[in-house]
């Protein structure tokens, strides 16, 4: 798979926004419609620490309002899926639709 600099930048920005989250897996696939093309991305992550619940609870609002700095793409859709609260951590996934400018 070709590595795109915007995907790398996006992952770095997500890590910064989601501290203390740890990305455990990333899946990417090409996406296109009749008029647009880009990527569908999924970042699986784990949140640990005493503030994990508050971070997870506010995550959807934070991500929706964030303006990601990307060179050749924009985030058309973003969301949080598959949240699972455990005794020591919270696991979840951030899904994105990245469209080429």
The per-residue pLDDT for range 13-70, each reduced to its tens digit, is 988 888 778 899 999 999 999 999 999 999 999 999 888 888 888 888 888 889 999 9
Name the percent of the chain in helix, strand, coil, to the closest 5: 25, 50, 25
1: confidence class by pLDDT, cuts 50, 70, 90 = very low
User: What's the pTM value of the predicted model, to 2 decimals?
Assistant: 0.86
Name which of 51, 66, 67, 65 is nearest 19 in CA terms. 51
pLDDT of residue 91: 96
Q: What is the pLDDT of residue 2?
A: 47
Task: Give the CATH number of the domain where residue 75 resides.
Answer: 3.30.980
Contact 63, 78 (CB under 8 A): yes
Could you tell me the CA-to-CA distances from 10 to 16, 23, 61, 78, 80 in Å, in that order? 10, 12, 17, 12, 16
Q: Which residue has the tokens 């700095």?
A: 69
**Domain limits for position 80:** 5-100
- Structural domains in the chain (count): 1
């Amino acid at each position: 798979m070709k590595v795109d600099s915007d995907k790398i930048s996006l992952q770095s920005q997500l890590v910064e926004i989601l501290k203390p989250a740890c990305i455990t897996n990333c899946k990417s696939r090409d996406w296109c419609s009749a008029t647009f093309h880009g990527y569908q991305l999924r970042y699986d992550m784990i949140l640990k620490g005493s503030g994990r619940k508050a971070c997870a609870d506010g995550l959807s609002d934070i991500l929706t309002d964030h303006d990601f700095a990307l060179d050749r793409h924009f985030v058309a859709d973003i969301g949080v899926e598959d949240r699972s609260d455990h005794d020591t951590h919270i696991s979840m996934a951030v899904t994105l639709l990245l469209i080429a400018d």
